[in-house]
Structure 1
Amino acid sequence: MLPSEVVRMVPALAAAESELSQPDTVVADLLEILRRQLRMDLAALARVEDGHLVLQVLCGDIAGFGLHAGATVSHPDSLLGQVLTGELPAIVADTLADPSLAGNRDVRDWGIGSYASAPIVDAEGRVYGVLCCAGHRSRPASPEREGRFLRLLAAFLSDTVLDLHEMWARRRRVWQEVSDLIDSGGPRIIYQPIFRLADERIIGVEALSRFPDGRGGAQRWYADATTVGLSTELERLAIGRALAVLPVLPGDLTLAVNASPTTISAGLLDLLPGAAADRLVVEITEHEHIGTDKHLLRAVEQLRSRGVRIAIDDIGTGYAGLEQLLHLRPDIIKLDGVITRGIDTDAARRAIATGLVQVADEIGGSIVAEGIETPAELATAMAAGILYGQGFLLGHPGPPAGAAWLRPDTRPSAVPGDPGGLQAPAGPGAHREPRPNRLDRHGPLSSADARR
């Protein structure tokens, strides 16, 4: 029988949505169960492809073995390849004591003291790849029992969970689509104005990514890019394109760009303009379990040392976001549109907003309410003590060409981006033309009053 952990996964897997990342999660969960059951340091799924074995999903001490997802090993010559062909035993408790492994290159280079593996065969009898575990040291083993467990789990993975061939074919298609987008220059960038609510003065703009039709919105594109390992490259490209507006952005307006913790940790300093860094706001997206990430905290401090302000996006939608307030002490807190929407009719939403205003005051930050769409929401946000906001009521996102916030001396040829992009629609929700003297030069979000 399979362990109870695997059995409990079946209903959840059957009900799960067919998101691109879901198969990876399923496989990773199964690998972790396998690794713990066999008391090994590493578990992996490798796929046979064009005469090679490609390591698709790994869990455990990946760095300790010097491996990574996507690593390719020769099929006929490798340890896994010889296990698949039957030249080497499927389970070895002590590689140093097994004469068939004497001088084996993979055992030596990867530091393998023990291993166990089983082939994965699809419904048509074709060998898809191999399910395997490895340990740094030798260990007691029960080859018959462990082999039976491995084969059961491999069969469960092939027959019950998902179509592995389709899973990796879909992953390759997505990788190609994201790669093509990166090669073509990345997403189109539009900008949404941010206002001081008391007099509706524009005090900054937020850069937003817009992607080709067919795959969904920006959130879906970035999620898929993360799944295929291209998120940092895509985000950096989008940020670089967003920064192109700085030369035509009035000097007293800020520019906000979005970045995930992974991209921030990888480093953004090389993208920052020298003298204009204190006009930038980096909004951190995806909050789960990042508060104690030393790499992220160090990268945030490096950005702050250059004058960049830090914002936390989508606050108010969960515990993880609130946890970041304690660790990051952001300069700006973005109140999520889920809280803003209907705030005029919901006491709970008003209480959350009022509480966050108090938190911001205590840490020396500012609140920006997102998604303001009605006059009643605007009035209620202001009554709660929120000084800044953005949303369709105040101004729609659009390309820089023709925007009210452009420097008045800007030549059309100097405006970056696609002038044929998303235009602000006419009507009650259209962007309001501010008077030339209504730019906020001294608010907490303006560069004149940046907290460093």
Structure 2
Amino acid sequence: MTVRTATLLGPTAEVPTPSAAVVELLAVLRRHLHMDTAWLGRIEGDLLVIQAISGDGDRFHLTQGSTVRRRRGLYPGVLSGRLPTLIPDTLADPRTADSPTVRELDIRSYVAAPVVTDDGTIYGLLGCLGRRPHRELRERDAQFMLMLAEILRDSVSDLHRMWQAHSQVWLDVSRLIDQGGPTLAFQPVFDLERARIVGVEALSRFPDPCRSTEQWFVAADAVGLTVELELAAVRRALGALPRIPAHIGLAVNASATTLSAGLVEMITGTDADRLLVEITEHQRIADVPEVTRDLDRLRRLGVRFAADDVGAGYSGLEQLVLLRPEIIKMDCSLTQGIDTDPARRAVATGLVHVAEEIGGGGVIAEGIETAGELLTTRDAGIRYGQGFLLGSPTPVLRDACVAADE
């Protein structure tokens, strides 16, 4: 079946998540008509892209994101009016008996109607499929389908706008990845006791000033390109490693998923014992089971790990237990104001003890911006610091590496 449907079904597409109202409407439609599958599809060039589905879609090789090619699908006939809204028995009807779609997907009955946006343009198709003939279907069932298609007008207009926005994000991120990924700025990390630089963190910088770095990664995540974008940034950072003095390490950022999506292979063969991989706490390590294996593989190469942004959210303690990082990076929300807030000082002191117990490498205080914050973090036992007071991010690698030594 897979071979025979290859010419009928197109590539899987990225689609925005449909609203709960659309999903519920499809379920109502399927139950009302006693059909096996109900779906909403968008016309995209020569493809019908399945946006939402209810019921046994696998029976017809359809899932959210599946595509059907125009030249072999039933849907062009429905859109043009050549085929009716309802056919109770596709093999008994001469208009569909010889259709490749009917034969290859074993569609024995269907009900389908065009869906238009609020400006009157064709959005796509609302449909139901059956695995057996439904000779009990009547014209009023076709009218019911047309009524629901009209109800969907506002919802598909929202989906259309979402799709346009997602498409633009996908194009922006894809273009950036193809160009080698984001540019980099390097910010020095200091040994606060010795007042000298021990590392630089490679920070991603993006071309659109209206979208922050965090917004770029959130947008990439929405269209499924986070891993590729992170790998592109790490690849560019690794290219700078030979230009960094041998006594200075390099920190790069990666999510838990990226660890198991090519990072091991990318780092193999580099000066891995100079690398610190910062794992953000915004994605739970427990949600990516293979990460533990790849953490071990990278550690055997000499890579060290940092738990990033600790204190910025609520999953930090769990991350620390699972990751057991060599370094804990205390989020700037805890650093800023630490000199006037006993609670922040208490948390900082606690993190120093945790770091000593689980990794032995120490804590980096992020976001040091005043002399008071610097003095207090050092008095709390925090060994390393990073922030605008000590050194701003700079695209010139030499400036970042020399800043502390002067």
TM-score between both structures, scaled by the size of structure 1:
0.69
Unaligned runs of 5+ in 2: 1-14
Residue among 173, 177, 187 paired with 2:172? 177
1:192 aligns with 2:163: no
CA RMSD of aligned residues (A): 4.1
C-alpha separation in 1, matches of 2:113 and 2:158: 18
Out of 341, 351, 364, which is 2:346 matched to? 351
Greater shift in the superposed pair: 147-156 or 178-187: 147-156
Q: Is the 8 A contact 2:260 2:291 kept in 1?
A: yes
In 2, Cα distance between the equivalents of 1:403 and 1:378? 21
| Counterpart mapping for 1:217-256 below 5 A | 217-256=212-251
Corresponding residue for residue 397 of structure 1: 393
Structure with the greater alpha carbon radius of gyration: 2
Of the three residues 386, 406, 411, the one matched with 2:382 is 386
1:331-342 to structure 2, matched below 5 A, reads 331-342=326-337
Distance in 2, Cα, partners of 1:59 & 1:285? 35
Give the aligned partner of residue 11 of structure 2.
none
Moved more, 112-121 or 261-270: 112-121
Are 1:52 and 2:23 counterparts? no
1:450 maps to none
Q: Residue 284 of structure 1 aligns to a residue in which SS?
A: strand
2:405 corresponding residue in structure 1? 434
Could you give the per-residue CA deviations for residues 26-81 of structure 1, whole angstroms, max 9, x where no partner exists?
A: x2545654677669998865311223213456799999986676653213522555
What count of residue pairs does the alignment treat as equivalent? 381
SS at match of 1:291: helix
Distance 1:121 1:60 in 2: 24
Q: Is structure 2 residue 162 aligned with structure 1 residue 167?
A: yes
Task: Report the 3-state secondary structure (helix = DSSP H, G, I; strand = E; otherwise coil) of the residue aligned with 1:313.
Answer: strand
SS in 2 for 1:244: helix
Task: Report the TM-score, using the length of structure 2 for normalisation.
Answer: 0.76
Q: Structure 1 79/376 Cα, relative in aligned 2: closer, same or farther at 3 Å?
A: farther
Aligned to 1:208: 203
- Give the aligned residue type for 1:363: I
Please say if residues 337 and 371 of structure 1, whose CA atoms lie closer than 8 Å, have aligned partners that are also in contact: yes
Equivalent AA in structure 1 for residue 117 of structure 2: D
Q: CA deviation at 1:373?
A: 0.6
Residue type matched to 2:351 in 1? L
Q: Counterpart in 2 of 1:284?
A: 279
Instruction: Give how far 1:230 is off.
Output: 3.0
The alpha-carbon deviation at position 122 of structure 1 amounts to 0.8
Distance 2:44 2:178 in 1: 25
Aligned to 1:305: 300
Q: Give deviations 1:369-421, integer Å, cap 9, x for gaps.
A: 11111111122222332211200011111134442626xxxxxxxxxxxxxxx
In structure 1, C-alpha distance between the alignment counterparts of 2:26 and 2:365, rounded to whole Å: 46
SS at match of 1:394: coil
Distance 1:400 1:350 in 2: 34
> Residues 310-368 of structure 1, C-alpha deviation per residue, up to 9 Å, x if partnerless?
22211112222332222222222211112211122223333332332232222124321
The SS at the match of 2:381 is: coil
Task: Mark the runs of 5 or more structure 1 residues left unpaired by the alignment.
Answer: 1-22, 407-430, 436-452
| SS at 2:339 equivalent | coil
For residues 103 and 316 of structure 2, what CA distance do their matches in structure 1 show?
45
**Per the alignment, in what secondary structure is the counterpart of residue 246 of structure 1?**
helix
Runs of 4+ with >4 A deviation: 28-45, 56-71, 79-92, 97-119, 131-135, 142-157
Equivalent position to 2:153, from 134, 152, 158: 158
| Separation in 2, partners of 1:401, 1:286 | 27
Query: Which stretch shifts more, 172-181 or 191-200?
Result: 172-181
Aligned mates of 2:315, 2:59 — CA distance in 1: 30
Question: CA offsets per residue over residues 134-160 of structure 1, 9 Å max, x none?
Answer: 89x99x9x9899999987876565315
Task: Indicate the residue corresponding to 1:10 in structure 2.
Answer: none
Contact 1:91 1:147 survives alignment (8 Å): no
Q: Which amino acid aligns with 1:376?
A: G
